[in-house]
Amino acid sequence: MPPPTTYGSADPARGPAPVMRVRSASAPAPGRLVNEDLVFRFGPLVGVLDGATVPEGFDTGCVHGPEWYVRHLAARLGVAEAARPSARLTSNLAAAILAVRADHGGRCDLDHPGTPSSTVCLLRDCGDQVDYLVLCDSPLVLDTGGQVTVVTDDRLETAMADLRRTVATVPAGGADRATRFRHAVGVQRERMNRTHGYWVAAADPDAAFHAVTGTLPRRGPAAVRRAALLSDGASSAVEQFGLTDWAGLLDMLSVDGPGALLDRVREAERDHPDRLRRHKPTDDASVVFCEFGPAA
């Protein structure tokens, strides 16, 4: 595992800001060579992207896949942040999505409902404050002033719950499981980046402005102390398997590091496959863990 990287900035009037130390880990699902998650850091900006896996046999209208999309989106986010470091995260994400549209090179149908997409979880150190953005189901776990909270975008889960109810009302009529699954995927695609559906980074830059965003102080009694950015493959440690609570997850990351969390998830996937809610038996898993220590 690479050593943690650090970042801090100074305010001449108030002295150096606390240092942000960053550790991360990302791994594909067991047995897969391709990781459709991606973790990254560009100076004060860290992020986790989770590309949407395309079910076998489904068209996307695109010659590229989720792995290509997350790599290009991360790169374009880095360019946007370098060009406009003081812009809102929503604006830079929108610019990145727009730039990736151009990266397709005119070879793809970007209006196709199955066009490659990704969740987004970002955190940016701004010296006296920390900005964050969450789009779709990659949660952000925060320790602020000793209180642990979770920033989530639950619109996908709400849409999926509604979808399950809708599919349940469709008469079976002898339809096999594959047919019903195909119907469910089609309905889910129709709800992507729609007002009464859910929002995700894909080909429409407007999705960025539907993200969950906020700002946290770096100093004072309510200052951010720790933060964990997770793909749903990593957050399953709490949400699916109940290995710990959110506070315990931060403690595990503090003591044992991100790699240990992924190891625990893999063990749980092997031992308790009945607890998985995803259609996949295992998933790519990623975490970026930030600690805000005393000024260097």
Q: Taking each helix axis from N to C terminus, what angle separates 232-239 and 258-271, rounded to the nearest 10 degrees?
A: 70
Overall average pLDDT of the 135-141 stretch: 97
d(CA 119, CA 42): 18
- Which segment of 101-105, 151-155, 165-169, 247-251 scores lowest on mean pLDDT? 165-169
* pLDDT reported for residue 57: 82
Mean pLDDT value across residues 56-76 = 94
Tokens of 205: 């830059």
* pLDDT on residue 171: 56
Q: Which pLDDT band holds residue 160 (cuts at 50, 70, 90)?
A: confident
Tens of pLDDT, residues 255-287: 999 999 999 999 999 988 766 655 567 899 999
Average pLDDT of 205-212? 98
Distance of CA 20 to the CA centre of its chain: 20
Q: Which residues contact 128 (CB under 8 A, 6 or more apart)?
A: 11, 14, 17, 217, 218, 219
What confidence category does residue 124 fall into, taking pLDDT thresholds of 50, 70 and 90? very high
pLDDT band at 1 (very low <50, low <70, confident <90, very high): very low
Q: Is 212 helix (H, G, I), strand (E, B) or coil?
A: strand
Better-predicted residue by pLDDT, 295 or 104: 104
Task: Write the DSSP string, 181-193.
Answer: HHHHHHHHHHTBT
Helix (H) or strand (E) holding 202: none
Q: What's the whole-number average pLDDT of the chain?
A: 88
pLDDT at residue 173, rounded to an integer: 55
The arithmetic mean of pLDDT across residues 95-103, rounded, is: 98
Q: Tell me which of 72-76, 237-241, 273-277 is least confident.
A: 273-277
- Residue 84: CB atoms within 10 Å: 12
Q: Under a CB-based contact definition with an 8 Å cutoff, are residues 246 and 218 in contact?
A: no
Q: Is 112 exposed, middle or buried (0-12, 13-18, 19+ CB in 10 A)?
A: middle
The share of the chain scoring above pLDDT 90, in percent, equals 70
Q: Give me the sign of the Cα torsion angle 169, 173, 174, 176.
A: negative
- For residue 149, which of 128, 127, 134 has the smallest C-alpha distance? 134
* Residue 191 pLDDT: 84
Is 192 or 105 the better-scoring residue by pLDDT? Answer: 105
Per-domain residue ranges of the chain: 5-153+199-293, 154-197
Dihedral angle over CA of 68, 72, 73, 74, nearest 10 = 110
Are 286 and 50 within 8 A, CB to CB? Answer: yes
pLDDT at residue number 230:
98
Cβ–Cβ under 8 Å, residues 27 and 262: yes
% the chain with pLDDT above 70 = 82
- pLDDT for 103 equals 98
Largest interatomic CA distance in the chain: 73
Alpha-carbon span 246 to 48, nearest angstrom: 18
State in words which class domain 5-153+199-293 has: alpha beta
Q: Is the pLDDT reported for residue 18 higher than 60?
A: yes
pLDDT band at 196 (very low <50, low <70, confident <90, very high): confident
Mean pLDDT confidence for 59-76: 96
State how far the Cα of 25 lies from the Cα of 260, in Å rounded to an integer.
9
- Asked if residues 154 and 197 have their Cβ atoms less than 8 Å apart, the reply is no
188, two tokens: 């889910």
Which residue type sits at 110?
Answer: L
What pLDDT, on the 0 to 100 scale, is given for residue 276?
Answer: 60
Residues 98 and 195: their CA atoms lie apart, in Å, by 20
Tokens of 92: 């830079």
**Cα-trace Rg, the chain:** 19
Query: Do 39 and 5 contact (CB within 8 A), yes or no?
Result: no
Task: Please give the residue that has the higher pLDDT: either 296 or 30.
Answer: 30
> What pLDDT does 172 receive?
55
